[in-house]
Amino acid sequence: MLIYRFLTGEDDVSFCHKVTKALSEGWALHGSPSYAFDAATQKMKCGQAVTRMAKDQPYDPDKKLVDF
C-alpha cells in the first residue's frame, strides 16, 4: 500500500529538518514543493508531499501514517 503525507511549516531550517527526517525514515519526495505567503502571520510557508510503501495491510484511518 502506498501511503501519503503532506508536510508543512514555516520557511525555516525546522521545515528542512522535518523533510530530511521523513526521507531518513524511508519516505520519498512526491512532486514539487509548494511555497506560499501567509498573510495572517506575514511569513512564508512551505509544503512537501512525501510517500512510502507500507507492508500489505488494510488501511485504518485511525492509525497514524508513521505507524504503517
- Whether residue 7 has pLDDT greater than 90: yes
What pLDDT does residue 65 have?
82
Residue among 53, 55, 41, 61 at smallest CA distance from 4? 53
Cell of 10: 514555516
- In the predicted model, what is the mean pLDDT of the chain? 93
**Of 52, 57, 43, 53, nearest in space to 21 by CA:** 52
The structural domains of the chain, with segments of one domain joined by +, span 2-55
Q: Which three cell numbers stand for residue 47?
A: 509544503
pLDDT at residue 30, as a whole number: 98
